[in-house]
Amino acid sequence: MKFIAFNVREDEEKYFAQWEKETGNEVLRLPDMLDMSSVEKIEGFDGVLALQTGTYPDEMFTEFKKFGVKVFSIRNVGVDNINLDAAKKNGVVVTNVPAYSPNAIAEFSVTQLMQLLRNTTIFRNKVAKQDFRWAPYVGKELRSLTVGVVGTGRIGRAAIDIYRGFGAKVIAYDLYPNPELKKQGIYVDSYDELFSQADVITLHMPATPDDYHLIGTENLNKMKDGSYIINTARGALVDTKALITALRSGKLAGAALDTYENESDIFNHDLSNQEIKDETFKELLSLDNVLVTPHVAFYTETAVKNMVLIALNSAKSVCEDGTASTVVK
C-alpha cells in the first residue's frame, strides 16, 4: 500500500520511518498543507494523512474519488472541519486518533492555570525590568478553589484526577455523564450551575454548532467575579472579544488559551518580523493576565508517536478490511 502524508513535521519523521520499516508499506511525507492547490499530489495513493488544522472543502472529496483514494486519516481527534457526508458521498472513509494522550492535554491545562494563579507572567516581566517587588500580585492556592470541568471524556477525566490531587473541589458538566463520576456526585445539572459555582472553568469538549461561543457575554456574566478560563479544547468555544472585555473589566482574573477561534493563519507558522493583522489576537497578546500558546497542549513525545502510528494503522486497516476501530461515524 502507498500512503501520502501532509503537514509532516520533523518530530514525526522517525515514527513514519519506523512504521514503514515494520510494515513494508510506503509513505510519502510532505511538509506541505493539503488544500485544493496541492490535492493533485494524492494521485496514485491509497490513503491520505493530514492534520485537523487544515481546511477541507467538500469539493476536495470529489478529487479523492477521482484519484481512487479510499481513506482520509486525520492525525488528531477533531473532525469538526470535515464534512463527513461529503466524504461518504465520494466513498472516502474518515478516521481520526480518538486518544493520543489525554494526560498530555490535561497536564498542560493544569500547568497553565497554576501560572495564572501565581502571576508568573507578571513576575517574569517585572524581573526582566529589575523590579523585584511582590505586591500587589498575591497568588491563590488551587486547593482553595472550585474547578468546573466542561466535558468528561478521556481528557476531562484525566484533568479531574490531577485537580483532585491538588486538593481542589471539582464539579463537572457533560451532556453524556460518565457513570462512575455520576456515582461520585460530581455533576451539576446545567451550565448555569457550573458557571455560578466554579472559580475556574476548564474546557475539554468538542466544538459543535450548539456550543459555538459558549464562553460569550451572557455566560461570562454568570461567572464568579475574578474567575479563570482555561481552553485547551477548541477555539470556537470562546468569543474572544467578549473574553477580552471580561478580562479588562476584572470580571475574569485570567485566561489561558491554547486554541484560538481564528488560529489557522497564525498557529504553527513563523511570523517573526511580520505584522499580525488580526487586531483581536494582538490585543490578547498584550494582556498580562492571559497565556496564549499555539495549540501545543497535546505536544509530547508520547502523543506525537501515537498520532502518527494510530493514523497509519487506521489507514492500513481501512484499505485491507474496509473499516477500522477509529472510523468517524
Is 295 catalytic? The answer is yes
Of 75, 154, 157, 234, which is the active-site residue?
234
The single residue listed with the C-alpha cell 513563523 is: 270
- Enter the C-alpha cell of residue 313: 494503522
Contact between residue 322 and residue 109 where contact means Cβ atoms under 8 Å apart: no
Cα 283 to the chain's mean position, in Å?
21
In the annotation, is 204 catalytic?
no
Q: Under 8 Å CB-to-CB from 124, ≥6 apart: which residues?
A: none
Separation CA 196–CA 184 (nearest Å): 21
Residue 197's φ and ψ, nearest 5 degrees, are -100, -25
What does 127-172 look like in DSSP terms, one character per residue?
A: HHTT----TT-----GGGSEEEEE--SHHHHHHHHHHHHTT-EEEE
Which one of 263, 275, 283, 301 is the catalytic residue? 263
Is 13 a known active-site residue?
Answer: no
Cite the active site residues: 234, 263, 295
